[in-house]
Amino acid sequence: MPQYQIGHSPRLSGEARVSTAKNAVLPILAAALLTQEEIILHHIPTLTDVNNMLAILRSCGAEAESEGGDVRVRAVAAGSPEEMSLLRTMRASVLILGPLCARNGECVFTMPGGCAIGQRPIDLHIKGLRKLGAQVAQAGDAVRVTGTLKGANIYLDFPSVGATENLVMAAVLAQGVTRIENAAKEPEIVDLCRFLSAMGARIAGAGTGNIIVEGVPRLHGAEYTPIPDRIEAGTLACAAALTDGSVLLSGARMEHMRAVLFKLSESGVIVQEDARGIRLRGRARQPMEARTLSYPGFPTDMQAPLMAVATQTHGLSVFLETIFENRYMHVVELKRMGAQIRVEGQLALIQGGRPLNGAHVTATDLRAAAALMLAGLAAEGQTLLSDPAGHLMRGYDGLEEKLRALGADAMIIRQ
Ligand code: UD1
């Protein structure tokens, strides 16, 4: 079981290079199933989720290997995964559904796993595929989707990131034009669409709520570098804000992080963009209000890390989680460290300014794990963070190493 030890840390200073985005890499890897030709991806982070997705692609019959940050995938043939248990390792496994249906007119799979932050149904994915002409049969956890896909008008009841990605990937090889209304606008969706366009797909409107896909008969190979990880960058920005730091996040893109940087800046952190990335200076002092929303609103993935910061501001911060129904699991652990937080339904009230004390805490999900590591930087004494499910390694490429390089007292003590 991975365990981390974190001590009270001085002002973080220096430069951290932001990795490419997990949430861009995973759909792009799934999209590699759409062509028989070779896909080459650069600067791919070392994450369990990436390894799991590569294992899923292999289980679908593709060759997939990673070396020195480069990943090569070649799916000369691709079918439903042989090893269904792999799909339970993460939620993003559902992203093979669109590509396999588009390519073969069939996909048999099992309901995905992932962080226990909410129910996370896949009804919007299924409803959209049905609109495209697929038949869907479900027995328990097993789902079978069949049928030749044809372009259609789809309205998403909620701008789901995964459903938008799956439906775009399903539509790129479908006959005719598909319009997805109320589509998600996250930068990772724009990146997936750029990658698909590099493979020969015809897509307009990515990054807006109205995506139009004109089906093409086939896609070809491509070479691509995904966008930087705005959530990793945001997490490091929170670490700087907690420690009165002076940090350059090289490669980070301001335009992807406005909501988070506004919060930090309103709280007292100096945020500057330059040619190399984003510079942050100073401490978050003022309490904050944050309501999680779809992009470009405040991202739910940053709610827990920002809450760690809010515990150390002066006054009452108010957070509202509207995306996932069970995403305050870090609160119990933060309270173990002395934070004063009250949760009422979707609302969390954080009384800032209470000193945090090192404690033995447990990671309940990926972003909760990051929040606890950040809280450990501000706490007096030692914090022991147990991560029985290995969440941090699923989604951050060496977060503790990056923090340590900036001067933090954070290390992994058990793999
Ligand atoms: C993606 C991100 C995740 C982020 C989330 C919201 C990846 C790999 N993961 O997850 O880090 O926290 O976006 O920004 O990119 N929903 C339904 N029915 C569906 C699909 C979703 O009700 O068919 C609901 C979910 O339960 C949730 C909300 O919609 O309450 C948002 O989910 P969605 O946008 O689909 O998130 P993911 O794609 O799973």
Active site (catalytic) residues? 115
- How many angstroms is it from 310 CA to the middle of ligand 1? 25
SS3 137: strand
Whether pTM > 0.85 for this model: the answer is yes
Which DSSP symbol is given to 10? -
pLDDT at 115: 54
Q: What pLDDT does residue 139 have? A: 84
Residue 158, ligand 1, Cβ within 6 A: yes
pLDDT of residue 118: 60
Residue 26 tokens read as 């995973």
Query: Measured from the CA of 188, which atom of ligand 1 is nearest?
Result: 15
User: Of the candidates 325, 23, 324, 30, which has an alpha carbon nearest to the alpha carbon of residue 167?
Assistant: 30
Residue 34: the pLDDT is 98
Smallest CA separation from ligand 1 atom 13, residue:
161
Q: Which residues are within 8 A (CB) of 217 and not within 5 positions of it... i.e. 6 or more apart?
A: 173
Is 123's C-beta closer than 6 angstroms to any atom of ligand 1? yes
Q: Is 303 in the pocket of ligand 1 (CB under 6 A)?
A: no
Distance (Å, whole) CA 91 – CA 389? 14
pLDDT lower than 70: segments of the chain: 113-119
pLDDT at 56: 97
Could you tell me if the CB of 162 is within 6 A of ligand 1? yes
Show the tokens assigned to 272: 């500057």
> What domains appear along the chain, each with residue ranges and CATH number?
3-18+228-414 (3.65.10.10), 22-224 (3.65.10.10)
State whether the beta carbon of 91 lies less than 6 angstroms from ligand 1. Answer: yes
Closest atom of ligand 1 relative to the 127 alpha carbon: 23
DSSP H or E stretch at residue 250:
strand 246-250
DSSP state of 357: B
**Which of 50, 91, 94, 120 to probe ligand 1 with, by most ligand atoms within 8 A of CB?**
120
Q: Which among 20, 156, 161 is the best mutation to test ligand 1's pocket, defined by most ligand atoms within 8 Å of the CB?
A: 161
| Ligand 1 center from residue 128 Cα (angstroms) | 15
Task: Write down the pLDDT at residue 117.
Answer: 58
Residue 253 neighbours by CB under 8 Å, 6+ apart: 187, 227, 228, 230, 277, 278
Q: What is the DSSP letter of 153?
A: E
* pLDDT for the residue 40: 98
* Ligand 1 near 182 CB (within 6 A): no
